[in-house]
Amino acid sequence: MTRTIPLVVFAVLVVFFGVGLLLDPSKVPSPLIDKPAPAFTLPQLHDASATISNSDMRGKVWLFNVWASWCVACRQEHPLLVDLARRNIVPIVGLNYKDERAAAIRWLQDLGDPYTVSGHDIEGRVGMDYGVYGVPETYVIDKQGFIRYKQIGPISPDVLNNDILPLVERLQKT
């Protein structure tokens, strides 16, 4: 009995440490899930005189993708977004985050533009309202304007097919 107690304590510690090691500390749960998407109105990337606002997307399920031409990981996820846009399943609105307009437009010309429209957030103020701290980030926003999902970092095909698209489909039915 007295000999098994240290063993049990050790086993419990191993489980705790094991779980701790398997967690990714850079994935911080967003407090915005199931909350209304923060309101914004931004000049459009391609046309500074026009604006894009979250209220323009009311009644639709949409993806809100934070990107920048200086962001290396964005380049990694970009082909996936271009492909998704081609399939016409869900509109993708871009948030061009702390980027130079000319550089951003050139980036889209080179790599393809999957966005219905991109807002130009040069100061990163809208990004702050959305709790952006690492680009790229992607939000799934439902018809009522509630955030239902947040992806931090590039979307992988796995995440897209197993998490995001089934969720979009479910939200579109409601």
Contact predicate 159/77, CB 8 Å? no
The site that binds other proteins (CB under 8 A) totals a number of residues, namely 15
Under the binding rule (CB under 8 A), the answer on residue 64 touching other proteins is: no
Between 113 and 137, whose beta carbon lies closer to other proteins?
137
Closest to other proteins by CB, 141 vs 160, is: 141
Q: How far is the CB of 94 from other proteins (least distance, A)?
A: 20
| Nearest approach, Cβ of residue 131 and other proteins (Å) | 4
Q: In the stretch 27-46, what mask flags binding to other proteins with x, by CB under 8 A?
A: -xxxxx--------------
Per-residue H/E/C for the chain: CCCHHHHHHHHHHHHHHHHHHHCCCCCCCCCCCCCECCCCEEEECCCCCCEEEHHHHCCCCEEEEEECCCCHHHHHHHHHHHHHHHCCCCCEEEEEECCCHHHHHHHHHHHCCCCCEEEEECCCHHHHHCCCCCCCEEEEECCCCEEEEEEECCCCHHHHHHHHHHHHHHHHHC
Residue 109 CB, nearest approach to other proteins (Å): 26
According to DSSP, residue 96 is labeled E
Residue closer to other proteins, measured from CB, 98 or 143: 98
43 versus 131: smaller Cβ distance to other proteins: 131
In angstroms, give the least distance from the CB of 133 to other proteins: 4
Least Å distance between CB 31 and other proteins?
A: 4
Chain positions 84 to 143 lying near other proteins, rule: CB under 8 A, are: 98, 124, 128-131, 133-134
**Within a 10 A sphere around the Cβ of 135, how many other Cβ atoms?**
24
Judged by the rule CB under 8 A, the positions of this chain that interact with other proteins are 25-26, 28-32, 98, 124, 128-131, 133-134
